[in-house]
């Protein structure tokens, strides 16, 4: 073994260039595992040498990225869950950020 | 107090390679005790209950443990995200299949260089082809692969080739880890120390590839801190998230803490992990900021970098409560500058490969 392992919670990586168009059926990249952590009372994304703690709304969005739901269907579902209207822009923004970080494919 | 989120299980200090920049303690040959499978399982259960989610199986070479598959399976069932940090030696097709079945999440494979000559020289083994083969095996088993390459003055000029190699092997991540001067790397620092110009050039190459390849392979460039003006946020703070367990069961707030004076290092055989984390002298020694002296004490960045690395402070200033001398504000910063400047003059001494014989020679007193 050679190098000291990278820090556990590190900024995810170099920035990608321009944001790409969102996929019609967003899916969590196989590099990431979404998991509920009792001790942190939060959903986290686990990936090689890192962990991102998610807030509730990000977690609910990512939990729905199964490659089978359209973004519209996700939004409709989330509007019921959060009892809110017009959240499509926020959902798209999170997905956009997720793509930039490589969470979403 | 936050829970330990990252557990590093250093299963063994034994290693088939002899890398000149290994960060393991140079006294490894004097530390041959290894915990049993049952003891490791107990440690993992306790750590998971405390909140640890990331688990790195490391060493030495963790594949030298025959019970690795069993430990991975247990870890995965406990809900850990499991990482195997390996030189690749010992990862046969049969073991890869068993590790996949056990639920291993990810493999980090080390390379020493993009050329056979330097890879084999720096590790003092003929392992270059084997590592290529292992990289393909990792991909065949659909693991996310991190390639790790320690950088120093010998291979910094090859950074473009190293990145090309990572791309050719389809690595999802490439960790270009500028040498951190601990363990054997500290012993061999004069031979490894790059020039500032080499680093600037390498970083420009990295930026160029990042722009071109974007997210296909994410390149991490671990900062060469001797050339910086601010220290790294070592371990994200002492006793904050990181918990290492050495082969002999010693619990460490950082993998090099064994060499710090004044720490009463607890052992998992004697004490519950929760007590070790929360109450032991060692884990509280540099937790928070009460231990700090000037300039850290009064610095508005003290909660950002936590004063840097305690081991580095001790190694270079002789006092672990000093600011990491990498910091431009440290009264000892000139010592780091000197270490860089004087490196070429120190190359008359031979480079020392990590071997048991060299380990015993360096630590005859035990």
Does A11 touch chain B if contact means CB atoms closer than 8 Å?
no
Tens of pLDDT, residues B18-30: 999 999 999 999 9
Q: Determine contact, residues A50/A9, Cβ cutoff 8 Å.
A: yes
Query: According to DSSP H, which parts of chain B are helical?
Result: 37-50, 68-78, 93-102, 116-123, 128-140, 159-168, 183-187, 189-192, 196-213, 273-279, 281-284, 302-305, 310-317, 333-342, 356-362
pLDDT, residue A12, reads 41
**Residue A1 belongs to some domain of the structure:** no
Q: Is residue B257 pLDDT above 90, yes or no?
A: yes
Cα B38 to Cα B247: distance, rounded to the nearest angstrom: 13
| List of chain B residues whose C-beta atoms are within 8 Å of the C-beta of residue A17 | 211, 214
> Of the given ranges (A16-30, B92-106, B270-284), which has the lowest mean pLDDT?
A16-30
Q: Please give the biggest Cα pair distance in chain B.
A: 56
Q: Is residue A21 pLDDT above 90, yes or no?
A: no
- What's the DSSP call for residue B248? T
Residue A86's CATH number: 1.10.10.1150
Mode of pairing for the β-strands spanning B54-58 and B81-86: parallel
CB-nearest to B146 from A12, A35, A48 is: A48
Mean of all residue pLDDT scores within chain B: 96
Quickly state the pLDDT bin for A14 (edges 50, 70, 90).
very low
Tracing tokens 């399976």 back to the chain, one arrives at B73
**Residue A69 belongs to some domain of the structure:** yes
Cα B115 to Cα B123: distance, rounded to the nearest angstrom: 12
Would you give the distance in Å from CA B75 to the centre of its chain?
Answer: 21
pLDDT, residue B356, reads 95
pLDDT, residue A7, reads 37
**Residue A21 belongs to some domain of the structure:** no
Q: What is the mean pLDDT of residues B245-260?
A: 95
Tens of pLDDT, residues A57-102: 999 999 999 999 999 999 999 999 999 999 999 999 999 999 988 8
- How is A60-82 classified by DSSP, letter by letter? HHHHT-BSSS-HHHHHHHHHHHT
Interchain proximity B144–A17, CB inside 8 Å: no
Q: Give the global pTM.
A: 0.92
Q: What is the mean pLDDT of residues B203-214?
A: 93
pLDDT, residue A100, reads 87
Q: Determine contact, residues B305/B232, Cβ cutoff 8 Å.
A: yes
Quickly state the pLDDT bin for A6 (edges 50, 70, 90).
very low
CB-nearest to B83 from A17, A44, A48 is: A48
| List of chain B residues whose C-beta atoms are within 8 Å of the C-beta of residue A31 | 144, 172
pLDDT, residue A15, reads 43
Alpha-carbon distance A16 to nearest alpha carbon in chain B (angstroms): 5
**Residue A44 belongs to some domain of the structure:** yes
Would you give the distance in Å from CA B109 to the centre of its chain?
Answer: 13
Copy the structure tokens of residue B42.
Answer: 């107990």
Q: What is the mean pLDDT of residues B213-236?
A: 91
pLDDT, residue A5, reads 38
Q: Is residue B59 pLDDT above 90, yes or no?
A: yes
> Which positions ≥6 away from B128 have C-beta within 8 Å?
B115, B116, B119, B120
Would you give the distance in Å from CA B317 to the centre of its chain?
Answer: 22
**Residue A77 belongs to some domain of the structure:** yes
Cα A88 to Cα A75: distance, rounded to the nearest angstrom: 6
Cα B115 to Cα B128: distance, rounded to the nearest angstrom: 8
pLDDT, residue A20, reads 63
Does A18 touch chain B if contact means CB atoms closer than 8 Å?
no
Cα B299 to Cα B230: distance, rounded to the nearest angstrom: 12
| List of chain A residues whose C-beta atoms are within 8 Å of the C-beta of residue B5 | 8-9, 51
**Residue A47 belongs to some domain of the structure:** yes
Total domains, chain A: 1
pLDDT, residue A1, reads 39
- Helix and strand numbers (H, E) in chain B are 15, 9
Query: According to DSSP H, which parts of chain A are helical?
Result: 56-63, 71-81, 88-100
Interchain proximity B19–A2, CB inside 8 Å: yes
Q: Is residue B122 pLDDT above 50, yes or no?
A: yes
Would you give the distance in Å from CA B45 to the centre of its chain?
Answer: 23
Q: Is residue A8 pLDDT above 60, yes or no?
A: no
| List of chain A residues whose C-beta atoms are within 8 Å of the C-beta of residue B53 | 35, 37, 44, 46, 51
**Residue A20 belongs to some domain of the structure:** no
Does A40 touch chain B if contact means CB atoms closer than 8 Å?
yes
Residue range of the domain that includes A75: 33-101
Cα A105 to Cα A1: distance, rounded to the nearest angstrom: 32
Query: According to DSSP H, which parts of B285-325 are helical?
Result: 302-305, 310-317
Copy the structure tokens of residue B121.
Answer: 């020289």
**Residue A56 belongs to some domain of the structure:** yes
pLDDT, residue A52, reads 93
CB-nearest to A8 from B21, B54, B220 is: B54
Q: What is the mean pLDDT of residues B192-206?
A: 97
Q: Is residue B116 pLDDT above 50, yes or no?
A: yes
Copy the structure tokens of residue B284.
Answer: 């509280």
Q: Determine contact, residues B153/B192, Cβ cutoff 8 Å.
A: yes
């Amino acid at each position: 073994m050679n190098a000291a392992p990278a820090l556990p919670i590190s900024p995810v990586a170099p920035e990608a260039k321009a944001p790409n168009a969102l996929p019609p059926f967003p899916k969590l990249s196989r590099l990431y595992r979404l998991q509920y952590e009792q001790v942190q009372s939060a959903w986290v994304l686990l990936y090689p040498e890192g962990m991102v703690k998610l807030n509730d709304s990000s977690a609910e969005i990512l939990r729905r990225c199964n490659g089978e739901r359209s973004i519209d269907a996700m939004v409709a579902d989330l509007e019921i869950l959060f009892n809110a209207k017009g959240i499509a822009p926020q959902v798209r923004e999170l997905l956009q950020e997720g793509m930039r970080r490589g969470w979403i494919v | 107090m936050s829970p330990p989120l990252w557990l590093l299980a250093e299963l063994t200090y034994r290693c088939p390679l002899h890398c000149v920049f290994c960060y393991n303690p140079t006294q490894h040959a004097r530390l041959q005790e290894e915990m049993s499978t049952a003891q490791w399982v107990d440690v993992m259960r306790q750590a998971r209950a405390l909140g640890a989610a990331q688990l790195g199986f490391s060493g030495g070479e963790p594949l030298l443990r025959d019970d690795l598959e069993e430990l991975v399976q247990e870890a995965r069932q406990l809900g850990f995200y499991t990482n195997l940090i390996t030189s690749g030696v010992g990862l046969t097709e049969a073991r890869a299949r068993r590790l996949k079945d056990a639920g291993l999440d990810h493999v980090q494979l080390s390379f020493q260089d993009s050329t056979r000559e330097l890879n084999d020289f720096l590790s003092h083994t003929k392992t270059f082809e084997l590592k290529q083969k292992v990289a393909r095996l990792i991909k065949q088993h659909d693991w996310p692969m991190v390639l790790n390459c320690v950088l120093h003055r010998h291979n910094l000029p090859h950074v473009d080739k190293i990145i090309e190699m990572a791309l050719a092997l389809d690595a999802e991540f490439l960790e270009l880890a500028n040498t951190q001067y601990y363990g054997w790397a500290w012993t061999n620092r004069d031979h490894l120390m790059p020039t500032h110009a080499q680093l600037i050039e390498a970083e420009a190459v990295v930026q160029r590839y990042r722009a071109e390849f974007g997210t296909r392979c994410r390149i991490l460039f671990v900062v060469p801190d001797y050339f910086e003006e601010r220290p790294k946020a070592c371990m994200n703070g002492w006793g904050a998230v990181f918990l290492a367990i050495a082969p002999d069961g010693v619990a460490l707030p950082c993998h090099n803490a064994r060499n710090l004076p004044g720490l009463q290092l607890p052992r998992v055989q004697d004490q519950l992990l929760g007590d070790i984390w929360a109450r032991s002298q060692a884990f509280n020694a540099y937790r928070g900021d009460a231990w700090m002296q000037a300039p850290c004490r009064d610095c508005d960045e003290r909660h950002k970098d936590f004063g840097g690395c305690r081991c580095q402070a001790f190694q270079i200033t002789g006092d672990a409560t000093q600011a990491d001398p990498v910091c431009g504000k440290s009264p000892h910063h000139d010592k780091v500058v000197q270490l860089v400047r004087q490196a070429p003059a120190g190359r008359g001494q031979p480079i020392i490969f990590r071997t048991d014989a060299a380990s015993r020679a360096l630590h005859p007193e035990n």
